[in-house]
Amino acid sequence: MTIKIDDLTYKFYLGGQWIVSKSGKTIDIVSPYLHETVGRVQAVTQDEVDEAIESARKVQKDWEKTSLQIRAQYLYKWADELISMQDEIAEVIMKEVGKNFQDAKKEVIRTADFIRYTVGEALHMHGESLVGDSFPGGSKSKLAIVSRVPLGVVLAISPFNYPVNLAAAKVAPALMAGNTVIFKPATQGAISGSKMIEALDKSGMPKGILSLITGRGSEIGDYLVEHKGINMISYTGGTDTGALLAKKATQVPLVLELGGKDPGIVREDANLKEAVKHIVGGAFSYSGQRCTAIKRVLVNENVADELVALLKEEIEKLSIGSPEDGSVIVPLIDDQAADYVQGLVDDAVEKGATVVLGNKRERNLIYPTLLDHVTVEMQVAWEEPFGPILPVVRVTSDEEAIRIANESEFGLQASVFTSNINKAFSIANQLDAGSVQINGRTERGPDHFPFIGIKGSGMGTQGVRKSLESMTREKVTVLNIEE
Ligand code: NAP
Ligand code: G3H
């Protein structure tokens, strides 16, 4: 069945069918670098949301009863379909969210790997049993059998920047765990999400197991989140949206992956050349539009001049321009995002920061910008730009670096660059972050590692096994043995 009505217009996926919304409305998806409409997605109505959730509820028990081996076959098939569609999907990701083709392709391959690993992990998750007599006064005649059961219907809401990978990172564990899914992609990312679901549909997955709801979060988001038919929400996106969502979603388990302001802490004893490679890769790939991008450098003042010179040299090598040319620095997702980034740079410059490189803009293409002598009075020291700018804050001690790192509202990841492993562990222990990377850039992968945001960076843990756990609950059956 075709997922499109014409060259540009996509249908949405309800109960196993690609259909046109009764709203009669579509949303134009404008490419961030072509600046033209590359597709249209359906603006789904509340009644259609009800229908999708109803169809997910209807089939959930059957899906739960379906053996793990059979569920595994569908998901393996899905991964295979993604691999055979990798060029086609990568092209769509590139056009829709402006990621360069090679990185878009890597995203699709990573997604297939993620799905396969999820299947393997789910097949190897086992319950446990407890005998009653280990508790005072308990008896051997009581045996608790603890198993994991699905939660029901999972609402998966994903962001624009990894429109396939971060969506599948919710859908795959939800399905393997026996849940059914309502998937709401970011609007800018909804075509990529639709292609991913086209691959899932090709696996022959039973109808109704998943529905894809397209439409603006500002219009249908609250309705979805507050819907009584939803049993769990897995959300990835901005902190403000996540905080609103957490207020609206009552009495359902919630996993939130939100924004970050990951610091790269550079000690005096660090191998600066190595640190610079990690920092520049971490800060600037996909124009810094990664939750785990290094978003500030806290460097010891004694090596700051040398570090800044090396950073400048490395940043100057970055390719800038169209994602079609494989550029690292590409136009940001929209003009508004670029305005926001420019505002942070302007504020820093006004307050005395030194522009070492960049501060140049062509519409939504922000040139890689390195700001030195950034102080804690400047917004760029605290706010998440989601763009290619790197503020350098000079510090006098480890203690000062730790203090500034921890004063952030965010707590996703942090990097520590040092040749002293004891110091590295000591600093890591004091940092308020979900993960600390020692002598490496902040990053999510490998995707089976637990991935955690604390404070304004989230709630709950992702990573294959943790996602499977968060999408199930424990259930205890007690056998009372007659003696
Ligand atoms: P966003 O604007 O907050 O949107 C995220 C998702 O929420 C989209 O699907 C959006 O739909 C939806 N949404 C908007 N309003 C909603 C509402 N009222 N109810 C329910 N859903 C609603 O974020 P983004 O710009 O796509 O992504 C960038 C942000 O995500 C950055 O802050 C980044 O750090 C964060 N992020 C975090 C992680 C992580 O793992 N921690 C990973 C990736 C990205 P529409 O697109 O239709 O508005
Ligand atoms: O944008 C957030 C992603 O989870 C980051 O993943 O570190 O592999 O780029 P990444």
- Give strand pairing partners of 393: 298
* Ligand 1 mean position, distance from CA 18 (Å): 25
Q: Which domains occur in the chain, in start order?
A: 12-258+459-476 (3.40.605.10), 262-448 (3.40.309.10)
Q: CB-side exposure of 44: number of CA atoms within 13 Å?
A: 32
Place of tokens 């939750």: 291
Instruction: Measure 208 CA to ligand 2 centroid, in angstroms.
Output: 30
What is the end-to-end Cα distance of the chain in Å, rounded?
60
Tell me the two tokens of residue 41: 């997605």
For 19, the enclosing helix (H) or strand (E) is strand 17-19
Q: Which two tokens stand for residue 369?
A: 């910008």
Q: What is the largest CA-CA distance in the chain?
A: 81
Mean pLDDT computed over 212-231:
98
475 forms beta bridges with: 147
* pLDDT for position 14: 98
| Closest ligand, as measured to the CA of 333 | 1
- Its pTM stands at 0.97
Quick one: pLDDT band at residue 72, thresholds 50, 70, 90?
A: very high
Check residue 250 and give its pLDDT: 85
257 within ligand 1 shell (Cβ under 6 A): yes
At residue 336, what is the residue type? Answer: Q
Q: Which residues face 361 on adjacent strands?
A: 366
Does residue 462 surpass a pLDDT of 90? yes
Q: State the pLDDT at residue 482.
A: 85
Region 423-441 average pLDDT: 98
29 alpha carbon, closest ligand: 1
Q: Which of 48, 96, 198, 257 is catalytic?
A: 257
Stretch (H or E) spanning 166: helix 165-176
Residue to mutate (ligand 1; options 158, 161, 171, 335; most atoms within 8 A of CB): 161
Task: Give me the half-sphere count of Cα atoms (radius 13 Å) on the Cβ side of residue 85.
Answer: 24
pLDDT above 70: percentage of residues in the chain: 100
Which residue has its alpha carbon closest to ligand 1 atom 42?
291
Residues 337-373: tens digit of each pLDDT: 999 999 999 999 999 999 999 999 999 999 999 999 9
- 199: how many CB neighbours lie within 10 A of its CB? 26
CA distance 27 to 188: 10
| Residues whose CB is less than 8 angstroms from the CB of residue 116 and which lie 6 or more positions away in sequence, other chains included | 75, 76, 79
How is residue 111 written in tokens? 């997604």
Mean pLDDT of the chain: 97
Helices (H), 316-411: 335-350, 398-407
81 lines ligand 1 (CB under 6 A): no
Phi, psi of 327 (to 5 degrees): -65, 145
Is 257 a residue of the active site? Answer: yes
d(CA 87, CA 109) in angstroms, rounded, equals 10
- Burial bucket for residue 315 (CB in 10 Å: 0-12, 13-18, 19+): buried
Query: Is the preceding peptide bond at 163 cis, omega within 30 degrees of 0?
Result: no
- Ligand 1 centroid – CA 197 distance (Å): 19
pLDDT, residue 1, reads 74
Q: Is the pLDDT assigned to residue 186 strictly greater than 90?
A: yes
468 forms beta bridges with none
For atom 13 of ligand 1, the residue with the nearest CA is: 217
Give me the pLDDT at residue 144, please. Answer: 97
pLDDT of residue 318 exceeding 80, the answer is: yes
CA distances from 284 to 277, 298, 308 (A): 11, 17, 15
Are 310 and 356 a contacting pair, CB within 8 Å? no
pLDDT of 273 reads 98
Give yes or no for a contact between 194 and 201, defined as CB atoms under 8 angstroms apart.
no
Q: Which residues contact 472 (CB under 8 A, 6 or more apart)?
A: 148, 149, 150, 151, 177, 178
> How many Cβ atoms sit within 10 Å of the Cβ of residue 445?
13
Tokens 């299947």 locate to 119
Give the pLDDT of residue 161: 98
> Ligand 1 pocket, 222 CB below 6 A?
yes
Tell whether the model's pLDDT for residue 86 goes beyond 90: yes
**455 CB under 6 A from ligand 2?**
no
382/324 Cα distance (integer angstroms): 33
Which has more pLDDT, 1 or 162? 162
pLDDT at 225 over 90: yes
Give residue 320's pLDDT band: very low, low, confident or very high (50, 70, 90). very high
